[in-house]
């Protein structure tokens, strides 16, 4: 008896950080980056976690797994005399890069346990559990990551008014470059919060990010990739004002634009993680990745 769920990663195209303050954000599922969660009965009397980085008692796993511990505990409380389980995670999404690794495993664990125990929880209940785990992981999480890893379409997200799914394609390619540097989302969100409290410039950057996001949506719906790219680069300037960019991210965004990208920016919490560049074609994306050389540890090219 076992249940599995395959959940994919994501990138935020625009609107990170401002989304926490009630502005819109646009994000995209990345199907090629995914993690499969498999729940099965454990013959030995313990709840066992099996990931590429930790194998052992689920509830004694390091603090980074606290969100998952909450999810398992939540399900065990719903079941009378729950059996011992083994929960295995296969596949790899690099952590703390803005690729949605924590939301992916949170959603996967929730859906696989729901299936295993045949609870038939509603989609809303599943998202509430996943989002609560994300709040444990990231502090004040907007819900954007969970919504995107649970979607096959582009997600236009507002934490107050909800989600709009966009099917419109853009005539462009997205290059995702991994700086290889860890970017802690919780730390980034707290840093921005403190900055906004003391700086009108930071407050203005958040407002501008909201405006740029709405403009990106309009350009996207008109299939105007050049404008989308330009707006992404403007968003990067705002994220720099919010102090979540790094010298390497700045260098990569400049390199991408100088090599022919429509635009480039960090994606996710920042302080490390990934840089995304919107490119007119695959060849340009390849060339940028090649020119980035040792500045990046990995890259992916996605049709958008
Ligand atoms: O670093 P990521 O991919 O988890 O994205 C964080 C996005 C923020 O807007 C910074 C935080 C949030 O909860 O939306």
Q: What is the 145 CA–ligand 1 centroid distance (Å)? A: 7
Report yes or no: 71 and 126 within 8 Å, Cβ to Cβ: no
Maximum Cα–Cα distance for the chain, whole Å?
61
Q: Give the number of other Cβ atoms within 10 Å of residue 20's Cβ.
A: 22
Averaged over 229-236, what is the pLDDT?
A: 98
Take residue 74 and report the two structure tokens written for it: 């939540």
Take residue 81 and report the two structure tokens written for it: 């005399």
Q: Spell out which residues line ligand 1, taking CB within 6 angstroms.
A: 12, 16-17, 19-20, 98, 100, 138, 141-142, 144-145, 185, 188-189, 268-269
**What are the phi and psi torsion angles at 8 (to 5°)?**
-100, 165
pLDDT of residue 186: 87
Q: Pinpoint the residues of the chain covered by CATH 3.30.230.10.
A: 2-165
Q: What is the 212 CA–ligand 1 centroid distance (Å)? A: 17
Whether residue 140 has pLDDT greater than 80: no
Element (H, E) at 163: strand 162-166
Q: What is the 141 CA–ligand 1 centroid distance (Å)? A: 7
Q: Pinpoint the residues of the chain covered by CATH 3.30.70.890.
A: 170-303
Sheet holding 263-267, edge to edge: 263-267, 274-279, 173-178, 298-303
**What ligand 1 atom has the least distance to the C-alpha of 10?**
3
Q: Across all residues in the chain, what is the average pLDDT?
A: 96
Report yes or no: 35 and 223 within 8 Å, Cβ to Cβ: no
- The single residue listed with the structure tokens 């099965």 is 40
Least confident piece of the model among 3-7, 137-141, 174-178: 137-141
pLDDT of residue 141: 77
**What ligand 1 atom has the least distance to the C-alpha of 138?**
13
Q: Confirm or reject CATH 3.30.70.370 for domain 170-303, answering yes or no.
A: no
As for the ipTM of the complex, it is: 0.94
pLDDT in tens, 73-124: 999 999 999 999 999 999 989 988 999 999 999 999 999 999 999 999 999 9
Pocket perturbation via mutation, ligand 1, pick of 131, 135, 176, 268 by most ligand atoms within 8 A of CB: 268
Take residue 202 and report the two structure tokens written for it: 């930071």
pLDDT in tens, 253-285: 999 999 999 999 999 999 999 999 999 999 999
pLDDT of residue 237: 98
pLDDT of residue 3: 98
Band of the pLDDT at 58, cuts 50, 70, 90? very high
Report yes or no: 31 and 8 within 8 Å, Cβ to Cβ: yes
Take residue 205 and report the two structure tokens written for it: 């950057």
pLDDT of residue 271: 97
Pocket perturbation via mutation, ligand 1, pick of 16, 142, 179 by most ligand atoms within 8 A of CB: 16
Q: Give the number of other Cβ atoms within 10 Å of residue 140's Cβ.
A: 11
CATH architecture assignment, domain 2-165? 2-Layer Sandwich (3.30)
Band of the pLDDT at 137, cuts 50, 70, 90? confident
Element (H, E) at 303: strand 298-303
- Rounded distance between C-alpha atoms, residue 153 and residue 167, angstroms: 6
239 alpha carbon, distance to own chain's centre: 16
């Amino acid at each position: 008896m076992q249940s599995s769920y395959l959940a994919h990663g994501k990138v935020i195209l625009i609107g990170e950080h401002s989304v926490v303050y009630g502005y819109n954000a646009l994000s995209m599922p990345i199907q090629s980056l995914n993690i499969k969660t498999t729940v099965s009965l454990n013959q030995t009397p313990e709840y066992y976690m099996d990931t590429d980085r930790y194998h052992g008692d689920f509830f004694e796993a390091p603090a980074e797994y606290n969100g998952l511990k909450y999810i398992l505990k939540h399900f065990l409380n719903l079941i009378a005399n729950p059996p011992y389980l083994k929960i295995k995670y296969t596949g790899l999404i690099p952590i703390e890069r803005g690729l949605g690794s924590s939301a992916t495993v949170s959603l996967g664990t929730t859906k696989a346990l729901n299936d295993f125990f045949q609870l038939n929880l509603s989609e809303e209940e599943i998202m509430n559990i996943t989002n609560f785990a994300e709040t444990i992981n990231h502090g004040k999480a907007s819900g954007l990551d969970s919504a995107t890893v649970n979607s096959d379409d582009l997600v236009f997200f507002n934490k107050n008014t909800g989600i709009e799914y966009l099917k419109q394609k853009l005539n462009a390619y997205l290059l995702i470059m991994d700086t290889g540097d860890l970017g802690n989302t919780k730390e980034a969100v707290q840093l921005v919060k403190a900055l906004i409290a003391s700086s009108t410039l930071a407050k203005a950057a958040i407002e501008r990010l909201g405006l740029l996001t709405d403009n990106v949506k309009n350009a996207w719906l008109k299939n105007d990739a050049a404008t989308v790219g330009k707006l992404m680069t403007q968003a990067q300037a705002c994220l720099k004002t919010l102090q979540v960019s790094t010298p390497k991210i700045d260098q990569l965004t400049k390199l991408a634009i100088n090599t022919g990208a429509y635009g480039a920016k960090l994606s996710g919490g920042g302080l490390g993680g990934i840089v995304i560049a919107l490119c007119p074609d695959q060849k340009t994306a390849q060339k940028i990745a090649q020119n980035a050389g040792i500045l990046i540890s990995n890259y992916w090219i996605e049709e958008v």
